[in-house]
Amino acid sequence: MRSILKIVLQRLGLGILTLFVVSIVIFVAVNSLPGDFAEAILGQGATPESIATIRRDLGLDQPLVFRYVDWLKGMLTFDLGTSFAQLNFANFGGAGTTTVAEQIAPRLSNTMFLATVTACIAVPLAVTLGILAALYRNTAFDKAANLFTLSSISSPEFFMAYVLILFLAVLNPIFPSLSNIFEGMAFSERLEKSMLPALTLTLVVTAHMMRMTRAAIISLLASPYIEMARLKGLSPMRVIVKHALPNALAPIINVIALNLAYLITGVVVVEVVFVYPGIGQLFVDSVKIRDIPVVQACCLIFAAAYILLNLTADILSIISNPRLRHPK
C-alpha cells in the first residue's frame, strides 16, 4: 500500500510540473498570436492613440514576464481573470463585466455532458467489438469490424459529422442537425440534441480502443495459463473474458484514457459543425476576437484534462498490474 501511495505522489508531482511547463508554453504562444484585441475591437480605422489607451487599460503594455506572473497567481487562486470582450461591453454601457470562470463554467459543463454521453456509447462498444474481433480473429466479422473502424478514424471529423447530418437529420430526420442546448433544458431533449455530435465522436474514438483491446487480448492467447484454461474445457468466450481480459487491462485503460482526454480536448471541430455551445466553440469564438484571458483559460483546461486523465490511466495501470507495482 505504501509503495502504491509513493507512486501516486510521484505521478502527481510530475503532473503538476508538466502543467507548469505547459502553462508557460500556453502563455507565450497565445500572446504571440498575430493581431491584437484592441485592433479587433476598434477596427481598421482606429488611431494609434486609442489602441494604446485600450492596451494600457487592459494591461497589455506590461512586460510579458510580469503578465505571466500575475496570470499564474490568478490560476493558483482559481481566478481566471475577466474577459476582454466583457470589459469592452461594460465600457460601452453593458450590464457589467463577466469573469472568465463565469463564461467557461456552463460551456465546460456542456462539453463534459457531451464527453460523458460519447464515453457511455464508445467504451462499451469498442471493448465489445475488440473482444469479439479477438474471439473471431481472421474471420469475416473481424475484417469487417477493422474495415469499418479504420474507415471512420481515417475520415476527417467534419466529414463524418456532415455524413451523419445527411443520413440522420436530412434524409431521415431522426436527430436535429443543430445542438442548440441551453440551461434548464429537459434531460431527454438535451440528450436528443447532443446525439449527433456524440455519434460523430464515437466513430472517431472507437477504432483506436477497439484495435488496442483486440491486440492486447490476442497477445495473451498464447500464454500458458490461457492454454491451461482451454484444457479445462472452458468456452472461448469465458477464457477471454475471465482470464485474458483482466490481464490486458493496463494497455486498454491507457488507450481509453487517451480517448477520453480527446473527448474533452479535441471536440473543437465537432462543436463548431453542430454549433454545440461547449468550451471548444467558446475557444474558437475567443480566438477570433483575440480575447486572451478566455483563450489562455481554455488552453489550460484542455492541458489539465489531458494530463489528469493520462495520470489516472498511468496510476490505474500500475495498480492493476503487479509487475508494475513491484518492478525489479
Report pLDDT digits (tens) over 204-214.
Answer: 888 888 988 88
> Letter for the amino acid at 209?
M
The pLDDT score that the predictor gives to residue 253 is: 83
The pLDDT score that the predictor gives to residue 247 is: 79
Cα 213 to chain center, whole Å?
21
The pLDDT score that the predictor gives to residue 135 is: 86
- In terms of Cβ atoms closer than 10 Å to its own Cβ (0-12, 13-18, 19+), residue 281 is buried
- Model-level pTM? 0.84
CB 256 within 8 A of CB 313: yes
Q: Residue 176: helix, strand or coil by DSSP?
A: coil
Domains of the chain: 100-325 (1.10.3720.10)
Give 82's strand partners.
99
Q: Residue 172: helix, strand or coil by DSSP?
A: coil
The pLDDT score that the predictor gives to residue 252 is: 85
CB atoms within 10 A of CB 232: 9
Q: Nearest Cα to 268, choosing from 322, 174, 188, 204?
A: 204
The pLDDT score that the predictor gives to residue 20 is: 92
Q: Using 50, 70 and 90 to split pLDDT, how confident is the model at 263?
A: confident
pLDDT exceeds cutoff 80 at 35: no
pLDDT exceeds cutoff 70 at 84: yes
CB atoms within 10 A of CB 186: 8
Q: Work out the percent of the chain whose per-residue pLDDT is above 90.
A: 23
Cα separation, 81 vs 79, whole angstroms: 6
Q: Residue 140: helix, strand or coil by DSSP?
A: helix
pLDDT exceeds cutoff 60 at 176: yes
- Tell me how many degrees the CA angle 245-198-192 measures, rounded to the nearest 5: 125
- In terms of Cβ atoms closer than 10 Å to its own Cβ (0-12, 13-18, 19+), residue 321 is middle
DSSP-derived secondary structure for 25-88: HHHHHHHTSSS-HHHHHH-TT--HHHHHHHHHHHTTTS-HHHHHHHHHHHHHTT---B-HHHHH
pLDDT exceeds cutoff 50 at 92: no
The pLDDT score that the predictor gives to residue 120 is: 94
The 8-class DSSP code of residue 77 comes to T
CB 305 within 8 A of CB 265: yes
pLDDT digits (tens, 9 = 90+) for 101-142: 888 999 999 999 999 999 999 999 999 999 898 888 889 998
Cα separation, 261 vs 149, whole angstroms: 19
pLDDT digits (tens, 9 = 90+) for 282-328: 998 888 877 888 889 999 999 998 888 888 887 777 776 665 555 55
